[in-house]
Amino acid sequence: MIAEMSAAPARRGLAIAFALCGVATLLLLSSHPAGGGATLADILKHEAQNQRVDGLVHGGMVVVLTALIVCFVLLARLLGQGKVRVTTGLVSFCVGSGALMASMLLDGFATPAIAVRFAGVELPADLAIAKTSLILLGTVIRFLMPMGLLFQAVAMLAFSAVIVTGAGLRRIIGVFGVAAALSIVGATLAVPAPMAGHVMLGCILLLAIWYLTLTPVLLDGRSWG
């Protein structure tokens, strides 16, 4: 199977897939609606108005993460899935993707649906239900998102630890992957609460750039050993 994946057409196809996933992630990030509203009523109105965009952005991220799982399974075969670091990277990426998908579904679909349900209501009892629901969803997302990013950072670190053993461009990209992974871990664990949203988006940006850097690694025709 490794020999089969080492064929030039297979490598090119996988390189293109990683590039497309990286570009798609960047485009979805740029389309992510900004938060808005100082009061609960304003937040409900803002979330309701952006329901379709939220669904497209977060649903698109779920699709991209699904495609990336396939890509990393193929990359693991190419690198040698019997290696502990490769297996660790693959499992970590899948676990991280699952946590991020759950976060995307809650943030992109459940939250706007609740906002639509309660947008425009004025009764204190209804607003209290809406507030409680949003707090609950926000709390769960606040755990799922960093957890998903931490697992994906472990995956980036594990795969990069294999790639960095190569020569030339592979080594440079491997070093970048290791540095980016450690940056994500540090940012996720040390970020102040008020800046959490921006830092999480920055971490996803780093991951998207890493996907793009895997393209030249795969186009390198030298043997992986």
pLDDT of 89 above 90: yes
pLDDT of 4 above 60: no
Q: What is the mean pLDDT of the chain?
A: 88
The confidence band for 100, taking pLDDT boundaries of 50, 70 and 90, is very high
Residue 7 DSSP code: S
The 10s digit of each residue's pLDDT in 17-27 is: 999 999 999 99
pLDDT of 203 above 80: yes
Angle between helices 169-190 and 124-163 (to 10 degrees): 150
As a whole number of angstroms, the distance between CA 153 and CA 69 comes to 14
The 10s digit of each residue's pLDDT in 208-223 is: 999 999 999 888 766 5
The confidence band for 159, taking pLDDT boundaries of 50, 70 and 90, is very high
As a whole number of angstroms, the distance between CA 114 and CA 95 comes to 27
**Contact assessment for residue 54 and residue 104, using Cβ atoms and an 8 Å cutoff:** no
Looking at residue 73, what is its pLDDT? 95
Say what the pTM is: 0.89
